[in-house]
Structure 1
Amino acid sequence: MHVSPPADAYETGLHRPRYTLALLTVLSAFSFMDRQILAVLTQPVKLEFGLTDLQIGLITGLGFALTFGLLGVPLGRWADQHERRRLIMVCRGAGGALAALGATASGFWMLLLSRSGGAVSDAGGNPASLSMVADLYPPEQRARAMSVFASGGSLGALMALVGGSWVAQAYGWRVALASVGCVSLLLTCLFWLTVQEPRRSASGNPLDARQSSLGAVREIWSAPVTRWLIVAAACVLLAGYSFGSWNTALLVRHHGLSLRAAGWISGAAALSSMVGGLVSGALADVLTRRDPRWQIGVPMLGVAAALPTGLAYLMLPAGSVQAATLLVVLYAFFLTWWVAPTYAALSLVVAPERRATASAMLLLAGSIIGNGLGAILTGWLSDRLAPVAGTASLAWALSLMLAMLLPALLAFARARRAYLPALDANRMPTPPPTPETTPCTGK
């Protein structure tokens, strides 16, 4: 259990919650842009270095996932025990520096090293940022705040699709990569100079902060609500990363679009996902006033709507461009409903000294399963289905991956069932003010 900080702790001008949240979101956006931009730059990079598709897959997916897997939980635990502001500065700065270094790559191995090493930005920066946001905003505003931070991913994807492709076409892929890295470094300096470490929520157990990483992981995983939330997130991200990695190729192969036209549709979907994430956070904050279980009910609604919408999109006949645009925008809108409420729920059922570790565990599951396996597994399925399905093999492969939303729904349902007991167990009323802090009434 933990003690909630007094209400005015969230409002103090020292912390400037809105400014801090905005800067954390922009840092996340550029980190995600750095992560996604190579997908836009794949063709010129492949031609310059003579790379195979397998090497491209290692650079854009598996290398990042493995590095994240090694660093995610240890850095998350470090964020729970030390100053988060310093960790964010180091990790985001390292990510920006490695992005700029990637622009000087002379071959596959240097590019793989810079891209894989860039995972440190998300491995340490995201859990620490999520923990900081949880301390900046009270529980009744937390889902909305989390949705703003989560929108950084969609904003970064949009910037990579639109800005990255424009810069690469005008000045080359090296300039595009270097630009992202340099801007990230400048933003990191601004963060370090203008943001202060917010006050942490007080813990009911002083030993929590000294608990080992393995002990914290075991305790988080042993709780049914956190375990099922992590499983649900892994299933959604497996479907989501598969779709995101192959959707542009699907639009080109199945609907006969040019890369530019497919990029515009993908950009519209990215914008829609950002709006959907913001809507879900606001909706969760409103509905949880009636029933706290809506914190997990909102993700369930989003996944339940995304599944049939995505399947309808994938089953469209070739050339149905207008219908495809509408359906993929709707799919992207609903699929991101899980993000902000899930992280808000996670922050409410674990002790403050384990928030970053719990977030890192969820991010790790998504990185290894979603980012690491999604694109590769989809490609393998498409190859196996090609003799039977022909040119529709990719659509069928994506449909099979989209079916992972069904176990995600079941996992969210299990988490929802365990949510109220966990919430009550982790909640302790705010202590009454001491005589020294009680305002004088004159009576």
Structure 2
Amino acid sequence: MPPTVQDTAMPAEPFLMSASPHDRAEDNGADWPSRGAAYFALAMIVAATALNFLNASVFSVVTERIKIDLELTDEQLGWLIGPGTILIYVLVGIPLARLVDLYSRKHVLAYGLLFSSVTSALGGLAQSFSALFATRMLVGVGTSAHAPGSYSLIADLFPPRLVPRAIAFFQIGFVAGTTLGLAAGGYLLAVALDWGPISFFGLEIRAWQWAMIIAAAPGLPIAIGLLAIREPARKGEVESHAAPTLIEVVKEMWHRRRVYFPLLLGVVFCALESLSLHNWRSPFMIRTYGWSEAEIGAFLAPILFVTSIAGAFIGMRLTEWLSRKYADAHVRAMGILFALAAPAAILSTIMPNGELALIMMALSAMFALAAGVPQNAAFQLITPNEMRGQVTAIYVFLFTVTGALGTLGIALITKYVVGDESRLWEALAITATLLVPFAVLCIALGLRPYGEEVQRKRLLDGGIAVAA
């Protein structure tokens, strides 16, 4: 029988607002920021997240134009939309994330966003594959500490019972950035195509480059907003205020490998759906159904916005409902939601028309985003504060690297297995069918260890009573 918690029937609460008397007493045990300060900080984190994903989404929309203008192969394109942003992350991502555990997180977030916005705009000036590849690597530097810093801040802005809700709200940044990026990328590209190539200090600026430059512009005002956040006190430190080294973090994760490893393996396979297939969306629609970038954005953006908002709500509510009965609620919710995302991802590659393909993509994204709510909360709730930045960086690193390598892998499958770039859909179908279901299997293996870890933590903290 899975680990359970005593089911204390709680009245429904408005989002991030009311609490039961028991919860209020529990919340008063720590010095939490004021509601206004917490909401402002969360709003700025959401805005920064939205911009990061907007820039990434705009880039994915214009990839086919990049291929044409720079005369690239699919293999080169795969390097740009995949490993281009993660090769440098391999070297600096986790070390930079340690800054989250050492220094003010608002400064890490603000300067990282500013750097990624500037380098993304510089990509709009690139005149060759090598120059564009270099700027994509630098974008990876700027964004590498964003997720660790954001999750660490959220865990100290809100009481534990509200962390899944805050993370659900945080996911709106991903939703807004991705959907607006689809619409804005297609629109900016269509407008800039009428301008024609423009010479600028000896550089030829084409339509896709203008789209990248304009999309990066909001980076400065949002970075200023991040600097205005009131840094909350760190909570949940078990030993000292000094952040452990990466080796110490890895040793601790190895010591608790029964808990961490199934979750990390699940993250690896989840990345194949969330990043790899997503990155090839526009080329797939253009080559398979003859759609333009503007048509893709106009049709998919509103659908994806609605389904993604629904996904955040579904992930939040499912996790809360399961939490009333199961100690392993977060991992259980992940497994259920990815089990629903897998068939939608597979079916999206074999639909008879473009409309149905995009609808299936949106449904897959909805369940994948819903799974992100309990997934991200799960790591924060079992990890000591002084390790949160680096542990988050490790699983974001695995997610990003796997997604990037999977993106390149799809290009290689298209070239060496399928043998025809116009049949990209076959490579996507092979990838989704063979690998995405493994995410569900790995998550299932983590159910019991995670539940036992939650029980242990609650007993140590003197929290909710547990029963086997």
The TM-score normalised by the length of structure 2 is 0.82
CA distance in 2, matches of 1:110, 1:375: 20
Out of 391, 403, 407, the position equivalent to 1:375 is 407
1:304-362 Cα shifts (integer Å, max 9, x gaps): 1122233333333x33x454344333222112222111110111111011111111111
Quickly say closer, same or farther: Cα 1:113–1:248, change in 2 above 3 A: closer
1:249 aligned onto 2:271: no
1:357-408 Cα shifts (integer Å, max 9, x gaps): 11111100011111x2112212222334436x99666235434334323221
Quickly say closer, same or farther: Cα 1:233–1:109, change in 2 above 3 A: same
Answer whether contact 1:142 1:344 (CA < 8 A) is retained: yes
Out of 160, 164, 168, the position equivalent to 2:185 is 164
Out of 437, 444, 452, the position equivalent to 1:406 is 437
1:201 aligned onto 2:223: no
CA distance in 2, matches of 1:45, 1:343: 34
Out of 2, 12, 19, the position equivalent to 2:34 is 12
Answer whether contact 2:189 2:211 (CA < 8 A) is retained: yes
CA distance in 1, matches of 2:320, 2:289: 40
Quote the offset at 1:195 in angstroms. 0.5
Quickly say closer, same or farther: Cα 1:314–1:167, change in 2 above 3 A: closer
Quote the offset at 1:27 in angstroms. 0.2
Which stretch of structure 1 is more off in the superposition, 216-225 or 86-95?
Answer: 216-225
CA distance in 2, matches of 1:182, 1:260: 21
Aligned to 1:40: 61
CA distance in 2, matches of 1:29, 1:246: 20
Partner of 2:120: helix, strand, or coil? helix
Quickly say closer, same or farther: Cα 1:222–1:200, change in 2 above 3 A: same
CA distance in 1, matches of 2:407, 2:461: 46
Quickly say closer, same or farther: Cα 1:285–1:75, change in 2 above 3 A: farther
Aligned to 1:438: none
Quote the offset at 1:32 in angstroms. 1.6
CA distance in 2, matches of 1:134, 1:343: 11
Give runs of aligned pairs for residues 107-122 of structure 1, distance below 5 A.
107-122=128-143
Quote the offset at 1:85 in angstroms. 1.4
1:198-222 Cα shifts (integer Å, max 9, x gaps): 111142322x734211211231244
Out of 327, 333, 351, the position equivalent to 2:366 is 333
Aligned to 1:366: 399
| Count of aligned pairs | 421
Quickly say closer, same or farther: Cα 1:251–1:52, change in 2 above 3 A: closer
Partner of 2:326: helix, strand, or coil? coil
Out of 313, 322, 329, the position equivalent to 2:348 is 313
CA distance in 1, matches of 2:321, 2:393: 27
Quickly say closer, same or farther: Cα 1:215–1:35, change in 2 above 3 A: same
Partner of 1:200: helix, strand, or coil? coil
1:71 aligned onto 2:92: yes
Quote the offset at 1:185 in angstroms. 1.6
Which residue identity lines up with residue 149 of structure 2 in the other structure?
Answer: A
Aligned to 1:225: 259
1:286-307 Cα shifts (integer Å, max 9, x gaps): 4313323221111111111122
Quote the offset at 1:134 in angstroms. 1.0
Aligned to 1:88: 109
Quickly say closer, same or farther: Cα 1:326–1:92, change in 2 above 3 A: closer
CA distance in 2, matches of 1:201, 1:85: 16
Which residue identity lines up with residue 309 of structure 1 in the other structure?
Answer: A
CA distance in 1, matches of 2:247, 2:399: 19
Answer whether contact 1:80 1:357 (CA < 8 A) is retained: yes
Where is the helix percentage greater, Structure 1 or Structure 2?
1
Partner of 2:239: helix, strand, or coil? coil
Aligned to 2:200: none
Which residue identity lines up with residue 156 of structure 1 in the other structure?
Answer: G
Partner of 2:217: helix, strand, or coil? helix
Answer whether contact 1:77 1:357 (CA < 8 A) is retained: yes
CA distance in 2, matches of 1:97, 1:329: 30
Quickly say closer, same or farther: Cα 1:334–1:399, change in 2 above 3 A: farther
Which stretch of structure 1 is more off in the superposition, 140-149 or 403-412?
Answer: 403-412
Aligned to 2:380: 347
CA distance in 2, matches of 1:360, 1:380: 28
Aligned to 1:215: 248
1:8-39 Cα shifts (integer Å, max 9, x gaps): 633525x7111211110110110122223222
Unaligned segments of structure 1, at least 5 residues? 432-443
Which residue identity lines up with residue 406 of structure 1 in the other structure?
Answer: P
CA distance in 1, matches of 2:296, 2:221: 32
Aligned alpha-carbon RMSD (Å): 2.6
Which residue identity lines up with residue 385 of structure 2 in the other structure?
Answer: P
Answer whether contact 2:284 2:424 (CA < 8 A) is retained: no
Which residue identity lines up with residue 418 of structure 2 in the other structure?
Answer: A
1:304 aligned onto 2:339: yes
CA distance in 1, matches of 2:287, 2:140: 31
Partner of 1:174: helix, strand, or coil? helix
Out of 258, 264, 279, the position equivalent to 2:298 is 264
Partner of 2:325: helix, strand, or coil? coil
Partner of 1:201: helix, strand, or coil? coil
Which residue identity lines up with residue 454 of structure 2 in the other structure?
Answer: L
Aligned to 2:9: none
Aligned to 1:53: 74
Partner of 1:403: helix, strand, or coil? helix
Answer whether contact 2:49 2:173 (CA < 8 A) is retained: yes
Which residue identity lines up with residue 147 of structure 1 in the other structure?
Answer: A
1:215-252 Cα shifts (integer Å, max 9, x gaps): 11231244222222111011111233222122333333
CA distance in 2, matches of 1:169, 1:342: 37
1:177 aligned onto 2:212: yes
1:261-285 Cα shifts (integer Å, max 9, x gaps): 3333442453223431332123313
Answer whether contact 1:95 1:119 (CA < 8 A) is retained: yes
Partner of 2:446: helix, strand, or coil? helix
